[in-house]
Structure 1
């Protein structure tokens, strides 16, 4: 018998393509840890209204406002994805 594992609803907010009520869209998981919230990862977000791109930890994606024009808090630093050594 195969059991379905239910993911917490918050897990959906970190999937690429997720759009919150303020027009902030998850582009990708950067793979980097958050500098402001230990234990969380940084996700690349893009504002659908103005195109501004910034980083956000996974705990506040659902309620984020754009730091450029919606008065949202400054985003986390976006870093390039590092090289994959073992594919």
Structure 2
């Protein structure tokens, strides 16, 4: 499977949107894609994005970006990490 730097945590696109983490959840709007937690470096708004959209994302709060994917939290693990 190909790896793209735009999905690495810390990556910032030209609109100031930063990858925080891979959620591990599948996209509900784009089959085969994984949802990533994104944060706007301007207003700190967090939202979900498909991996294929990260490079072009704009903030849904103030840059007229698309709403984004719903963020879900992983269930607690029985094992300490």
TM over 0.5: yes
Larger-gyration structure (1/2): 1
String of CA shifts for 1:19-72, please: whole Å, max 9, x gaps: 000000000000100011010000000000001000000001000000000000
Unaligned runs of 5+ in 1: 1-6
Residue in structure 1 matching 2:72, options 56, 72, 79:
79
TM-score computed with the length of structure 1 as normaliser: 0.84
CA displacement at 1:81 relative to structure 2: 1.8
The match for 2:44 among 46, 51, 70 is: 51
In 2, Cα distance between equivalents of 1:31 and 1:85? 18
Q: Which residue of 2 aligns with 1:4?
A: none
| 1:70 maps onto 2:63 in alignment | yes
Alignment match, 2:25: 32
In structure 2, how many angstroms separate the alpha carbons of the residues matched to 1:79 and 1:38?
17
Length, aligned pairs only: 79
